[in-house]
Amino acid sequence: MAAWRRSSGGNEWLDDEAGPLVRLYGVTSGRTHAAKIPLDLLSVIAAADVHPASTQYLGPEHLAILRLCARPTAVVEIGADLDLPLGVLRVLLADLHELELITIRPPNHGALHASVHLLEELLDGLQRL
């Protein structure tokens, strides 16, 4: 069973097994639902031109998302890189979208379907290995 204790500096709670803990509702300021935005795990997020003054009130997670999205990045990659649950990530992305700091491009599901010919060529290539 995990033991909870306050760190020696007294500023954070520690779990002996997991290390420093930040409750996820603290990251989202207690919000559990995001604004209605068109978001899919394969949606591509890109940071808009960000001016330093527009980011001064953002939390570290928001800023980390903006850094990751300096080049277009899929939602699933952002969640994996930041180790954030999808629900928390949706709230943070909705915040950034509302502030017009990111753009969201829906996935091109048509591009995800491979043709039979392509799959046959792939299989032939694998068999030749």
Token couple for 15? 């779990």
Position of tokens 């639902």?
33
Along the 129 residues of the chain, how does pLDDT read in single tens digits? 444 444 455 444 445 555 444 565 566 655 656 667 778 888 999 998 877 677 778 888 899 999 999 999 999 999 999 888 888 898 899 989 988 899 999 887 766 677 788 888 888 999 998
Q: Is domain 24-128 given the CATH code 1.10.10 in the classification?
A: yes
pLDDT, residue 30, reads 55
Coil vs helix vs strand at 102 = strand
What pLDDT score does 25 carry?
55
Backbone angles phi, psi at 105, to 5 degrees: -110, 120
Direct distance between the N- and C-terminal alpha carbons of the chain, in angstroms, rounded to an integer: 50
Ranges of each domain in the chain: 24-128
Q: So what's the pLDDT on residue 59?
A: 85
